[in-house]
Amino acid sequence: MTMINVFRSSSQKVGALLAHSSRLVGRCVLVAVTVFFVGYASPARATSLAYPDITGPVGFSYNASTDVFTASDSWDMLWYYDGVDYLDILDATFSLNATIGGSGTLGGGSLLIKDTSNTYLAGNLTSFSFQHPPSGPGGVLQFFFDVTGGSLASVYGLGGTTIISSFDLPSGWNFSSSFSDTTDNATSDTIPAPVPEPATLSLLGLGVSGLIARRRRATRLA
């Protein structure tokens, strides 16, 4: 794809992927069990949301005193999935900044995905939703945005959505108190909008499946 600069992973990046393999496998199993018992979106709908997708591990935090939510890449590495291949984006920057009130209402924000030589996607946040699992830790945060620029603007069209999924948020978290996940156990998926319904726990599998597929490819190249 001419819009994407495709890079081979350095040995350092491959090593990082392999070091996280057991954690990623565990997360994939958790997703499968959750989706099986909860029975959210149908497989056909989940598949239709899978690409194009910019995915990767992220860390995030929310400060209830300032109403500021921030999310950024954890590994300086993202992947773009076009429906066929995962393409490396090295030295990547994923930056999502939002103002969210104590009731969970979005006050504004922005999204930027780039590397050192190219901006892939930029946008202004327009709406927001979030969801807890039926019980236990974890959750999904979904941000909708208007596309304002980037080399993938024509692919994403007028708008997109970023889905941040976490397995480490405390049970019953909300925006009346601060929270964070900086453990590399969260993933982001940025896909075209609109989405028929708000994010569901089945979407937790998007980022995980992408990382698992990428790790397998990295192992074969090693």
Which string of DSSP letters, residue by residue, matches 58-114?
EEEEEETTTTEEEEEESSSEEEEE-SS-EEEEES-EEEEEEEE-TTS-EEEEEEEEE
Distance spanning both ends of the chain, measured CA to CA: 24
Residue with tokens 């773009």: 80
Residue 216 has which token pair?
């397998």
With a CB cutoff of 8 Å and minimum separation 6, the contacts of 145 are: 110, 111, 123, 124, 125, 126, 159, 160, 161, 162, 193
Cis peptide preceding 198, ω within 30 of 0: no
| DSSP designation for 210 | H
Whole-number pLDDT of residue 148: 97
Whole-number pLDDT of residue 194: 62
Pick from 59, 71, 114: nearest CA to 89: 114
Q: How far apart are CA 99 and CA 15, in angstroms?
A: 36
Higher pLDDT among residues 108 and 209, named by residue: 108
Whole-number pLDDT of residue 133: 83
- State how beta strands 77-81 and 106-114 pair: unpaired
Per-residue pLDDT tens digits for 125-171: 999 999 988 888 889 999 999 999 999 999 999 999 999 999 889 88
Model confidence at 44, in pLDDT bands (50, 70, 90)?
very low
Q: Which one of 16-30, 31-45, 109-123, 184-198 scores highest in mean pLDDT?
A: 109-123
Ordered by start, the domain boundaries in the chain are 11-221
Higher pLDDT among residues 200 and 86, named by residue: 86
CA atoms within 13 A on the CB side of 105: 4
Q: Beta partners for 109?
A: 98
Per-residue pLDDT tens digits for 49-94: 458 999 999 999 999 999 999 999 988 889 998 888 888 999 999 9
CA-CA distances (angstroms) from residue 11 to 142, 159, 212?
33, 36, 18
Please report which helix (H) or strand (E) contains residue 166, including its range: strand 159-166
Whole-number pLDDT of residue 193: 82
Higher pLDDT among residues 34 and 158, named by residue: 158
Residue 214 has which token pair?
């990428």
pTM: predicted TM-score of the whole model, two decimal places: 0.70
Higher pLDDT among residues 22 and 175, named by residue: 175
Of the candidate ranges 35-49, 55-69, 103-117, the one whose mean pLDDT is the lowest: 35-49
pLDDT (mean) for 163-191: 90
Report the mean per-residue pLDDT for the chain: 74
